[in-house]
Amino acid sequence: MRIISYNTNGIRAAIKKGFIDWLKTDPADIICIQETKAQEADVDMTEIEQLGFQHHWFSAQKKGYSGVCVLTKIKADKVFNGNGFELSDFEGRVIRLDFGDITLLNCYYPSGTSGSERQTYKYQWLQEFQDYVDDLKMKRKKIIICGDYNIAHKEIDIHDPKGNKNSSGFLPEERAWMDQFLASGFIDTYRHCNPTTTGAYSWWSQRFPSVRIQNKGWRIDYISVSKALEKQIKAATIFPDVKHSDHCPIYLELAK
């Protein structure tokens, strides 16, 4: 099972920048997209379907905002939209697919960069999501959580940790949440495979074009797996040279 997680920052914009041509290179069996910024009816999926992908959408009620989608060449047994929390579901932030005994969550965690109200909601969402996952773990042991977590976990995951110590996405409370989330039984697959790799980022600010060229980025996109899948982790990497978005795709391969 080859999985990619990718915040496209608008799937229609990404398609205009060559997203479908990239799909034709067969980058993975399952592509988890965050921040679609579209309803399913807004996007012509013909070419994507011709590549063998089924597609499952959970869009925000607000048009042009948030939303998640999964493209998969492996047929899902079950699909569930949302995590049962009203605002999260209104914003289209979580979709779940079951493949046999494996559960895949594609998630777009809130950002707190637009002000204190959204930062407060971000903390609320993190707690609600933890409760949701804790409940899910009682029934499903093999869980994969793909997505834009909007948190750089460690100093190694951000180009300027000192300069960003008060920035949303690298606040002590957010990083502490990541600590306890992973301690609750999950593995950051990229760090599992690349424990000391520096300069490995998945997002670069669009405010200054030179930022990506200079690789002044943040690693805020993750594919985490529950401990029950640890022995199946085969490879995990980041594709910074794929440029349809201010994020880049991240990759996990699981052995059978």
Q: What are 164-223's pLDDT values in tens digits? A: 999 999 999 999 999 999 999 999 999 999 999 999 999 999 888 899 999 999 999 999
* 148 catalytic residue (yes or no): yes
Q: How far is CA 76 from the centre of its chain?
A: 19
| From 6, 29, 108, 188, the catalytic residue | 108
Query: Which domains, and CATH codes, for the chain?
Result: 2-254 (3.60.10.10)
Percent of the chain scoring above 90 in pLDDT: 97
User: How far, in Å, CA of 101 to CA of 254, rounded?
Assistant: 14
pLDDT at residue 207, rounded to an integer = 86
Cβ neighbour number for residue 187 with a 10 Å cutoff: 18
Name the band, by pLDDT with cuts 50, 70 and 90, for residue 256: confident
Over residues 32-61, the mean pLDDT reads 98
User: How far, in Å, CA of 49 to CA of 121, rounded?
Assistant: 36
Percent of the chain scoring above 70 in pLDDT: 100
Task: Using CB atoms within 10 Å of the CB of residue 210, give its burial: 0 to 12 exposed, 13 to 18 middle, 19+ buried.
Answer: exposed
pLDDT at residue 114, rounded to an integer = 87
pLDDT, mean over the chain:
97
Q: What are 90-108's pLDDT values in tens digits? A: 999 999 999 999 999 999 9
pLDDT at residue 144, rounded to an integer = 99
**Cβ(225)–Cβ(186) under 8 Å?**
yes
Residues paired with 249 in a beta bridge: none
Question: With a threshold of 0.95, does the pTM exceed it?
Answer: yes
Over residues 67-75, the mean pLDDT reads 98
**Cβ(80)–Cβ(96) under 8 Å?**
yes
Reported as type and span, the H/E element at residue 251 is strand 250-254
For the chain, report the end-to-end CA distance as a whole number of angstroms: 7
| From 29, 148, 157, 221, the catalytic residue | 148
Q: How far is CA 192 from CA 7, 209, 225, in A?
A: 22, 31, 10
The DSSP code for 205 is -
pLDDT at residue 48, rounded to an integer = 98
pLDDT at residue 208, rounded to an integer = 84
pLDDT at residue 169, rounded to an integer = 98
The DSSP code for 245 is S
Model confidence at 16: pLDDT above 90 = yes
Sequence-distant (6+) residues with CB within 8 A of 157 are 200, 201, 218, 219, 220
